Every structure is written in structure tokens, then in C-alpha cells.
Amino acid sequence: MVRSRTTPHPFARLLADECRSGRIGRREFLTRATALGLSRAAAGALIGVGLPYPAPAQAPSASSQSLRIQMTVRRLSDPRTFSLAESANVARGLLQYLVAYEADGSFSGRLLSDWEANDDATEYLLHLRPGVIWNSGAAFTADDVVANFEGWADTSVPGNSMATRLAALVDPSTGRARAGAITAMDALTVRIRLDRPDVTLIPSLAEYPAAVQYRDLIGSDPLDHGVGTGPYRILEYVPGQRAILERNLVQHYWGETRLDRVEFHDLGPDPVAWLNAAQDGQIDLVYQTEPDWIDAFDALGWTRHSARTATTVLARGNRTIEIGGIRPYADLRVRRALALAVDNAVCLELAISGLGTLGANVHVCPIQPDYAPVPAATSDPAEAHRQMEAAGMLDFEHELISVDDSWRRNTADVVAAQLQDAGFKVRRRIVTVDEFDRDWARFPFSTTNWNHRPLGIQILSLAYRSGAPWNETGFANAEFDALLDQAVAIARDEERREVMARLEALLRDDGAIIQPFWQSLYRHARPEVIGAEMSPDRQIDVTRLGFA
């Protein structure tokens, strides 16, 4: 590989042709081309448009400032086990990432200055940003990156979803990284050799479990050591209450940051408390505005930020869980009956006020470049009743569990009502955030939110590969797994869609999920706050926040 950020990968040229002809959109082109190492500016030149990074509308204030954010404060742990963006949003002030996923769909370097991929995406060269130091005073080097990759590829760590993302690095016989797969070429260069093509490597490094730790601290909780390359230290952390970041004045930080202090305030799940805090001047930014409260925050004169995303909520049964001596959701007829009883359009309208697009029970979104179009999901309560009766499960009472917030609780309520209308016995159970975070993958029947990913194949690998840590349905299908391996190795989206169509069909025919909608996300901030744009994956980069 001898290719710079300005020298297009051969596949990027094919993507550019598809973009210029209108077969894919600009966002899809940026996601795919920058993941293969092309810079954003060079990608723009390839399709004949200027794509400079947008500058803030106003210059940030140079005075010392504190910014206060409403957000659920969840427990921290080994970053490899992070399952929610909120954990990463606080930790990101201390622990940084190799790359960042931008709002326009592109990937930019953070702890990496740039990267390059060979023609078939089996080998990557990662070039570290020079001059980065840990707040302990040690230099950030290729040895740190190698240690993190080895930790990410360790399948023996419970809840380590990074091992699923980096499956092409793992030796199946050991459950760890293959010998020679990760090599420090010099102090600032790392070579990654995969056992098969994988175009999702760079997108995976932007995910929230991919926070980079010091080489000797892999597997530890950042609260226990406080070592990172970010500009802040975690001054206070109380789950369910608050987290406070304070600028580390003794550290030489490689980038820029605008705030001396960032506070995250957990005000509970009721948006009434958020609105009251905003009115009383106690917060400056809402992490995510609930759909029914958008008008109320607009009325305050706050700035509304939005993003169309592949964020969704699922209702699913877990076929591995036993209830009363049976596994009710292991029966295909039961799963299909549940899906047939639900009209996704009703969920979209009643649960999130229509602020999104209709889902089709396949968990791949039309805005993802590898989406294969499928017909709308069918709602047929009479057929649902017939299939549940054939399974002998009409007298079984389904307990539908959801977390205690508005949009996920509302979605579960709408699903439960439609199941009852179809003649099924359903009761609802609402759990706290802590209980949900602890047991979400083991609930027999529940609703779960899934964040946006740049590529549909990422979602399918994380959620439905046999035995994956985030596989909450118990779905296990050898044909599906083989097609996943095939799809990850295909660089060209047009060719991958043929395989994706088969994957989507397998998932929907199985009745694995009720996936009613894709959610548009909203965030409100005081007009003077800059850097508060809503990203598709809900991330907050505290180094970009400030006041005009």
C-alpha cells in the first residue's frame, strides 16, 4: 500500500461514478470513501464539489466557561463493554477515539492522522497523530494502539462487542487476535492484516466501545485511573445524578477545546423536569429532545438541531429464555404472530408523533448505503390470531418490558395495545434505567433501542450473528452467518445489496423482530451554544462545544 489521503482507493473511484450518476447519495459516498482512507476534501474533489468542514456561525468565546447538559448518567466500566452512547459521551472528555464519525457521514481522524487500505480491504495502515501524550506524561505510540486492538479482539471478555466488530482479526481457535494480525511498524504506524476483506474496520473504530486506553490499563474502568489523551479529567461521577468534567490544566492537549468545565445532569426520565430546568436557566443543552416536547423547547427560543438516522426501537422475543418450562419465542408461529399483529405505521404515528420513517422489520435502514429495498411489513391481526392459536399459545400471557422513558415506553404501549386487539394476553412492565442496562439482552420479551450505524451490515453483525454479545433475540442461523461473512467482504455496495436482500429476507421470515420505524433525532440548545449539532449516533464531542 502506497496511498495517501489524497490518492483515491480504486473502489472510491467506482463510488464516485455511482455518486455522479445519482445511483448513491453524497452521504453514502462520503461514508464509504473516507472509510477507505480518502480525506473529505479529496472525496469532494473526486465528485466535483467543494466539501470544506463547516465553520461555526460565530467565533467561540475565549473566556472561561462551563456548559451544562441534561443527559442520563450511566455507570462506567471497561469501555469495551459500553453499550450506550451516554457512557461514551462523558468518557470522551478523558478517553479519545482513533477516528470520528461526522454528521455528514464522513470519517475523520482523531488519534489517527490518516489511514489507508489495500485494494481488497484486507490490510490497513493506521498513521498515528504525532505529538499526542497521555495525561500521565507518556507518549501515545503504536504500542498503545496494538494493545487496544488486542484487547478489542479478545472474545473471552464478557460483553465485549468489539470482538464481534473485529471478527476478521480473531483466531477462532484461541478467541484472540491472530498472530501477526496487528503490528507496530514504527512508533507512529500500525499495520492491520485481516483474514478476509472487511470494509467496516474504520466505521467500527468510531463506535463508542472503541475508546482508546493506555496500553497497561486495557480492561479497566477509567474512573479507577483517570489516564487519557483527552483535555479533561473526570472530577465527579455519580450514576443517576451527575458527571463533571474539568479541564486538565497540566496536560499538553494536542487539539483545541473551548470549555473549562462540562457538567452532565441526570434529571430523570420525565421531560417536564428537563423543560423546567431549561426555563430556570439550570441547563444549556438537552441530550435528546423527546418528540412530544419539541414544540415546548422551540417556544423557549432554543435552537433545534435534527438528524435523519438509522436509530430505531425493536420489540423482540428472546427464543433462548425459558418461562414456565417452555421457550415461547422459540416457536416460529409465535414470533410471526406477534409481528403480524402490529401495524408499524400506527407505532410511528402514536409513539414518536410521525417524526421518522416507516420500518419494515429488517433492521437495515434506507439511508444506509447497503440497504436492499423490501416490501412494507404486513399487518394482519386475523392471521396473527390464527398462527398463535396454531401454536397453542392463545392463553399465554406475554410480559412486554420497556425502560421508563417516553418514546421507548410509548412504543411498547402501542405494540402491547395492538397485540391485545389481536386477541393476545399482554401485560406491561416498566423498569428503571439501571435494571434495563443490566438485563436488556436477557429479557424474554422487551423493547430495545438501537443506535445509528453508518452501514447496515454493521447492525446485522452486532445484533444477529450467532452468539454475539449483543444478540438479544437468540437468533442463530448458519446460513445467515455465512452471508454476513460474505457481505462484509464485498467492497461495492451495489454487489453487497444482493447479499443484503437475502439477509433481510431471512431475518423477516424468521419473525425475529418488530421494527416499526426509523427515528429522526432532535436536540435543543441555547442559541449561544455552538457545536451542539445532533449527530446520527447521538454522540457529544465535548471538545467541540462552546459559547458564542
Which 3-state string (H, E, C) describes 255-294?
CCCCCCEEEEECCCCCHHHHHHHHHCCCCCEECCCCHHHH
| pLDDT reading at 420 higher than 70 | yes
For the ranges 2-6, 22-26, 93-97, the maximum mean pLDDT occurs at 93-97
pLDDT on residue 365:
96
Residue 195 has pLDDT above 70, yes or no: yes
Average pLDDT over residues 437-465: 95
Given a cut of 50, is residue 118 above it in pLDDT? yes
Looking at the structure, do residues 122 and 215 belong to the same domain, yes or no?
yes
**What per-residue confidence (pLDDT) applies to 19?**
78
Alpha carbons within 13 A on the beta-carbon side of 212: 27
Are residues 140 and 239 both part of a single domain?
Answer: yes
- Structural domain includes residue 476: yes
Cell of 362: 429488517
pLDDT at 332: 98
Q: Is residue 253 part of a domain?
A: yes
Lowest mean pLDDT among 106-115, 156-165, 283-292, 482-491: 482-491
Q: What is the mean pLDDT of residues 392-416?
A: 94
- Supply the CATH number for residue 290's domain: 3.40.190.10
Is the pLDDT at 54 greater than 90, yes or no?
A: no
φ, ψ for residue 338, nearest 5 deg: -60, -45
Are the C-beta atoms of residues 414 and 350 closer than 8 Å to each other? yes
* pTM for this model (two decimals): 0.90
Spell out the residues 6+ positions from residue 528 whose beta carbon is closer than 8 angstroms to its own: 547, 548
Q: Which one of 247-251, 275-279, 371-375 scores highest in mean pLDDT? A: 275-279
Taking the C-alpha atoms of residue 449 and residue 314, their distance in angstroms, rounded to an integer, is 6
pLDDT higher at 85 or 52: 85
From CA 517, how far away is CA 361, in angstroms rounded? 9
Q: CATH no. for residue 392?
A: 3.10.105.10
Average pLDDT, the chain: 92
Pick the range with the lowest mean pLDDT from 40-54, 315-329, 339-353, 522-536. 40-54
Domain of 201 in residue numbering reads as 54-302+539-548
Q: Provide the pLDDT for residue 251.
A: 74
Average of per-residue pLDDT across 463-483 = 96
Shared domain check, 162 and 181 = yes
Considering the domain boundaries, does residue 397 fall inside one? Answer: yes
Res. 394: pLDDT tops 80: yes
**In a shared domain, residues 294 and 348:** no
> What pLDDT was estimated at residue 2?
46
Residues 318 and 466 in one domain: yes
Predicted local confidence at residue 264, as pLDDT: 98
Share of the chain above pLDDT 90, in %: 80
pLDDT interval class at 405 (50, 70, 90): confident
Do the bridges between strand 397-403 and strand 425-431 make them parallel or antiparallel, or are there none, so unpaired?
Answer: parallel
pLDDT at site 17:
77
The stretch 17-31 carries a mean pLDDT of: 77
Q: Would the pLDDT of 85 be above 50?
A: yes
Q: Which three cell numbers stand for residue 360?
A: 419494515
Which residue in the block uniquely carries the three cell numbers 486538565? 248
Q: How does residue 526 score in pLDDT terms, banded at 50, 70 and 90? A: very high
Measured CA to CA, the distance from residue 111 to residue 97 in angstroms comes to 6
Q: How far apart are CA 276 and CA 526, in angstroms?
A: 14
State the Rg of the chain over Cα. Answer: 23
Helices 381-390 and 332-340 pack at an angle, to 10 degrees, of 160
Q: Do 134 and 278 reside in the same domain of the chain?
A: yes
26 belongs to a structural domain: no
In a domain, 9, yes or no: no
Q: Is 434 helix (H, G, I), strand (E, B) or coil?
A: helix
**240-247 mean pLDDT:** 97
User: Do 255 and 393 sit in the same domain of this protein?
Assistant: no
CA angle 538, 543, 548 (to 5 degrees): 100
Q: In the predicted model, what is the mean pLDDT of residues 18-32?
A: 77
For residues 379 and 271, state if they share a domain.
no
Q: Is the pLDDT of residue 25 over 80?
A: no
- Considering the chain, what percentage of its residues have pLDDT values greater than 70? 95
Query: How much is the pLDDT for 476?
Result: 97
**Which pLDDT score is estimated for 57?**
39
pLDDT at 5: 55
Whether pLDDT at 236 is above 90: yes
Inform me whether the pLDDT recorded for 56 exceeds 60.
no
Beta strands in 82-171 (DSSP E): 99-101, 107-109, 112-117, 123-128, 170-171
Pairing verdict, β 123-128 and 112-117: antiparallel
Phi, psi of 128 (to 5 degrees): -75, 150
Q: Are residues 408 and 548 in the same domain?
A: no
pLDDT over threshold 50, residue 58: no
Q: Is residue 2 part of a domain?
A: no
Q: Above 80 in pLDDT, residue 274?
A: yes
Domain count, the chain: 2
**Residues 143 and 251 placed together within one structural domain of the fold:** yes
Reduced to 3 states (helix: H, G, I; strand: E, B; else coil), residue 347 is helix
Nearest in space to 313 (alpha carbons), one of 420, 160, 452, 443? 452
Residue 24 lies in a domain: no
- DSSP secondary-structure letter at 50? -
pLDDT score at 344: 97
pLDDT for res 7:
64
Angle, helix 493-509 to helix 456-464, in steps of 10 degrees: 40
Residues 95-106: what's their mean pLDDT?
Answer: 92
pLDDT tier for residue 50 given thresholds of 50, 70 and 90 = low
Q: How confident is the model at residue 45 (pLDDT cuts 50, 70, 90)?
A: confident
Whether residue 260 lies inside any domain: the answer is yes
Q: Is residue 288 located within the same domain as residue 418?
A: no
Same domain flag for 95 and 197: yes
